[in-house]
Amino acid sequence: MSPRLTTLPNGLRVVSETMPQVKTVSVGVWVDAGARDETPEINGVAHMLEHMAFKGTERRNARAIAEEIEAVGGHLNAFTSREQTAYYARVMQNDMPLALDMLADILQHSTFDPEEMEREREVIIQEIGQAEDTPDDIIFDHLQEQAYPGQALGRPILGSIERVENMRREDLQGFLDRHYHAPNLVVAAAGAVEHDALVDLAASHFGNLPTTPRRANDAASYAGGEAREERDLEQAHVAFALPALPFNDPDFYAMQVYATVLGGGMSSRLFQEVREKRGLAYSVYAYPTSYRDTGLLTIYAGTGGEKLPELMPVLADEMEKLCHHIDADETMRARNQLKVGLVMSLESSGARLEQLGRQMLVYGRMLDIDEILAAVEQVDEAALRRVAERIMRSAKPALAALGPISRLEAYDRFAARFG
């Protein structure tokens, strides 16, 4: 069935899609605020707020929150990104009222108990430490900082240990009070859901939220540059990025196909040339990231330090080749990869829920699956060459490297291959 949308008088949007073949429902609240909405002093507050929402309300303590949802066999979780925060649950159809009641409770009546906050502070510090100890994870934070230095978009979602140690209850409450307003929220559900019942529940639980819309973020300003860290590791981890396209760019879907051709699977240019033909890396891939007003095209490779002198020119060379020639067969393969992957993912109510929430925040409307598939199908070789040129000639790259990287070529020499 087609998705349905209702906007409540306070500006809260309620969207649902019924999936007749399933007996469970995935329901969530998507918030149009994330790490990009933080000031430097409270970097990490959106993520800490997401954690603390589950640590007790005026009606439920942390244990009760966990026990109530698991007593009905349900699942409750959340995540924070740079531009959004999401809280969601998956339950049986008859338990949707409980799930929405719990989501409303944790988002509007959390107490941010000082003792719970101290415990969770330590948990998040351990999470930051774990990320720092995971080279193929933390390298992307270093890369983001080089792409957008001195900006909220370039700061880590988790924040720093120092910022987390100094986070106050007032910081959490202040962020919530500024951003968790009705026009900035989407209540979404997918699966065994009846839209009118969802609307009634949303109105009952979220009808008193403030009606002030979100303030626009400062425009992102890409810079580029490098971050290198020599570590005693078995592998060198290298990632670089170039400016790419925001969500609303006409070439958005062409960029998705381009990234797939370049490094999106085993038949991609990078996998075939770097791993299969030359044996230069075990892991190599490319992927696009889009934001409201900007984007990045990122390439990552994990390899032995002795391979770096040969590897880096090959990565740049494969991007250069895509500016000049793409054949119809690889375009078709990439289009089909994207289309089938999308269709398969939407057989899950959880994936469909995420699509609904994200699309409403990004586009202000729901995109029909056939509309997306048609847009992907229209991408041809000319569009891919155009996107390749836009990305390859855009600017100097942001570069991050970690591990045994003494043989990595100078940044200026690598950057000269772009722009």
The pLDDT tens digits of the residues spanning 201-231 come to: 999 999 999 999 888 888 999 999 999 999 9
Same domain, 119 and 200: yes
Q: Is residue 219 part of a domain?
A: no
> Which CATH number belongs to the domain containing residue 122 in this structure?
3.30.830.10
For residue 419, pLDDT over 90 is answered with no
* 163 and 278 belong to one structural domain: no
How far apart CA 144 and CA 106 sit, in angstroms, is: 31
Residues 202, 234, single domain; the answer is no
Domain boundary (150, 176, 206) is at: 206
Least confident interval from 57-71, 77-91, 336-350, 370-384: 336-350
Same domain, 231 and 197: no
Q: Which of 258, 232, 235 is nearest to 245 (CA)?
A: 258
Supply the pTM of this predicted model.
0.94
Answer whether residue 214 is part of any domain: no
Catalytic residues: 50, 120
CB-CB contact of 107 with 59 (8 Å) = no
pLDDT of residue 347: 86
Domain annotation covers residue 280: yes
336 shares a domain with 407: yes
Q: Final residue of a domain: which of 155, 171, 206?
A: 206
With b for 16 or more beta-carbon neighbours within 10 A and e for fewer, the 220-258 pattern comes to bebbbebbeeeeeeebbbbbbbbbbbebebebbbbbbbb
Same domain, 187 and 259: no
Q: Are residues 131 and 202 in the same domain?
A: yes
Position 157 pLDDT exceeds 80: yes
> Which residues, 6+ apart, have CB-to-CB distance to 6 below 8 Å?
13, 14, 15, 195, 199
> From the CB of residue 111, how many other CB atoms can be counted at a distance below 10 Å?
17
64 lies in some domain: yes
Answer yes or no: do 240 and 378 share one domain: yes
Which of 82-91, 300-309, 337-346 has the weakest average pLDDT? 337-346
Q: Based on the fold, state whether residues 42 and 155 are members of the same structural domain.
A: yes
Report d(CA 244, CA 393) in Å as an integer.
11
Residues 144 and 15 in one domain: yes
- What is the extent of the structural domain holding 237? 225-415
| Cα–Cα distance measured from residue 259 to residue 264, given in angstroms and rounded to the nearest whole number | 6
SS3 61: strand
Residue located via tokens 């001195």: 150
* Same domain for 304 and 378: yes
SS (H, E, C) 95-140: HHHHHHHHHHHHHHCECCCHHHHHHHHHHHHHHHHHHHCCHHHHHH
DSSP conformation class of 16: E
In a domain, 215, yes or no: no
Q: How far apart are CA 96 and CA 162, in angstroms?
A: 40
- Give, for 289, the enclosing helix (H) or strand (E): strand 283-290
- The model's pLDDT over 354-387, given as tens digits with 9 standing for 90+, comes to 999 999 999 999 998 999 999 999 999 999 999 9
Long-range contacts, 338-342 (Cβ 8 Å, 24+): 338/256, 338/257, 338/260, 338/376, 339/373, 339/376, 339/377, 342/369, 342/372, 342/373, 342/376
CB 109 within 8 A of CB 59: yes
Give the confidence band of 2 by pLDDT, cuts at 50, 70, 90.
confident
- Express each pLDDT in 305-348 by its tens digit: 999 999 999 999 999 999 999 999 999 999 999 999 999 988 89
For residues 261 and 135, membership in a common domain is answered with no
Rounded to the nearest 5 percent, the helix, strand and coil shares of the chain are: 50, 20, 30
Domain count, the chain: 2
Q: In the predicted model, is pLDDT for residue 1 greater than 80?
A: no
CA distance 304 to 404: 8
Cα–Cα distance, 134 to 110 (Å, whole number): 32
Q: Is residue 26 assigned to a domain?
A: yes
**Of the residues 172, 206, 240, the one at which a domain ends:** 206
Confidence category of residue 76, pLDDT binned at 50, 70, 90: very high
> Does residue 32 lie within any of the structural domains?
yes
Residue 284 lies in a domain: yes
Is the predicted pLDDT of residue 170 greater than 90, yes or no? yes
